[in-house]
Amino acid sequence: MKVLLSAYACEPGRGTEPGVGWNTAWEIAKYQEVWVLTRPDDGREAIEAELQRNPNPNLHFVYFTLPIFGSLWRKGSIAFLIHYYFWQLQAFFVARRLHAEIGFDVAHHVTFVRHSAPSFLTLLPIPLIWGPVGGGESAPAAFWQDFSWRNKVYEVLRIAARWVGERDPFARMTAQHSTIVRATTEDTAIRIRQMGAQQVEIYPEASLTKEEIVRLTQCDRDPPVVRFISMGRLLHWKGFHLGLRAFAQADLLDAEYLVLGDGPDRQRLEDLAIELGIADRVKFVNRLPRDEALQQLGSCTALVHPSLHDSGGWVCLEAMMAARPVICLNLGGPAIQVTAETGVRVDAPDPDGATRGLAAAMVKLATDPSLCLSMGRAGQRRVKEFYNWESRGPQICQLYEDVVTANLLPSGSIVR
């Protein structure tokens, strides 16, 4: 088949959005002929270097940016979203010209993984797969009591922007006219159905590459002491303050807690550790090179990831592949990735309830090394089976074949 991908973010060797764009294209191109619409701004140099090292005649890139204000995306978050929106519109005109020349069988919007912005590829006379898309998750209202006024403003603006986006007629058109919509979580799936989508599947966007899997397997080391770790940007919605409170409540006197990362909540978290009387057992480490960070992850007892609205947590998959159990809240993407066999999902009715649950999970894992071992091995199996890019390629290609074989658009009109 001839497949058209839209990947605003696309770059080899990266995680999150750029990694989703690149790895989706790379794996599909092992089986189908693929054209990728993307931007030249960030990834082109890396893409061309990778293709020079590993040529793939099935993989073609079409680079373009806005003819006016092409660098608008550099001017801040609002300008970035405006640039993204109009880039999607331009993508339709580029795609329409390509379709007239090539005759695609199916189109697939890959990045951004954002449900409240449209993909105008739905206007092409071929089936469109939209997603996985996310962003429908919210921090439960009970947790807002811990947020500063700035953080509350952030949450309000985020919810408002999502509300406006979901009512954009072009975003609703995308939801309604896509042949299949893939949502990262049930929270997002509910909102997409409200936008009019008929066929919605839960399909997380996060996966690991073969190289990452090999590297993480090598990071598996017995921790010298009971040590918990939280990794990522220090932002209010990551919930690291809940992890610190739980660690204090668990009262594991010989245990350590490593907080790895930087961000605007750093000082607040350090002050909280002092207030809780655990500053001597909590170590804050600035962001490390990736290999060093993974070594730290592999030398800990368990990952504590109490995020309040993640569409998908790469660090959870990394911990599982490094044979570390994961303690997370029963919210968003991590709650899908982590099972009872690979970690502990904690109910989050309110901050106190979540803290008690996290503390109980810490005690459970700290006092049962055999449970940690079995959860770690189960986590590795789960990643290899469900969350590795090599297995995703055939799965996505099978979806394309099913859609093209059906030969129908969502409206019931015949594909031409």
235 CB-contact burial (10 Å; exposed 0-12 / middle 13-18 / buried 19+): middle
358-399 confidence digits (pLDDT tens): 999 999 999 999 999 999 999 999 999 899 999 899 999 999
Distance CA 121, CA 371 (A): 48
pLDDT score of 357: 96
End-to-end alpha-carbon separation of the chain, Å? 15
Contact 256, 226 (CB under 8 A): yes
pLDDT score of 407: 63
Q: Structural domain boundaries of the chain?
A: 2-207+388-406, 210-386
Contact 222, 294 (CB under 8 A): no
Q: List C-alpha distances in Å: 268 to 100, 107, 146, 246, 305.
A: 56, 46, 11, 16, 18
Band (416; pLDDT cuts 50, 70, 90): very low
pLDDT score of 222: 77
Model confidence at 75: pLDDT above 70 = no
Distance CA 338, CA 233 (A): 21
162-209 confidence digits (pLDDT tens): 999 999 999 999 999 999 999 999 999 999 999 999 899 999 888 998
Three-class DSSP labels, the chain? CEEEEEECCCCCCCCHHHHHHHHHHHHHCCCCEEEEEECCCCCHHHHHHHHHHCCCCCEEEEECCCCCCCCHHHHCHHHHHHHHHHHHHHHHHHHHHHHHHHCCCEEEEEECCECCCCCHHHHCCCCEEEEEEECCCCCCHHHHHHCCHHHHHHHHHHHHHHHHHHCCHHHHHHHHHCCEEEECCHHHHHHHHHCCCCCEEECCCCCECHHHHHHHHCCCCCCCCCEEEEECCCCHHHCHHHHHHHHHHHCCCCCEEEEECCCCCHHHHHHHHHHHCCHHHEEEECCCCHHHHHHHHHCCCEEEECCCCCCCCHHHHHHHHCCCCEEEECCHHHHHHCCCCCEEEECCCCHHHHHHHHHHHHHHHHCCHHHHHHHHHHHHHHHHHHCEHHHHHHHHHHHHHHHHHHCECCCCCECC
At residue 374, φ and ψ (nearest 5 deg) are -65, -40
Neighbouring CB atoms inside 10 A of 413's CB total: 9
Model confidence at 412: pLDDT above 60 = no
Q: Which of 324, 284, 322 is nearest to 304 (CA)?
A: 324
Same fold, 2-207+388-406 and 210-386: yes
Model confidence at 224: pLDDT above 90 = no
Mean pLDDT of 85-105: 94
Query: Beta strand 302-305 with 282-285: parallel, antiparallel or unpaired?
Result: unpaired
Whether the model pTM is above 0.85? yes
State percent of the chain over pLDDT 90: 72
The CATH code that applies to domain 2-207+388-406 is 3.40.50.2000
Distance CA 202, CA 133 (A): 10
Distance CA 118, CA 122 (A): 9
Distance CA 365, CA 337 (A): 19
Neighbouring CB atoms inside 10 A of 254's CB total: 8
pLDDT score of 411: 43
Contact 318, 216 (CB under 8 A): yes
CATH superfamily of 210-386: Glycogen Phosphorylase B; (3.40.50.2000)
In 38-47, which positions are buried (b, 16+ CB within 10 angstroms) versus exposed (e)?
Answer: bbeeebeebb
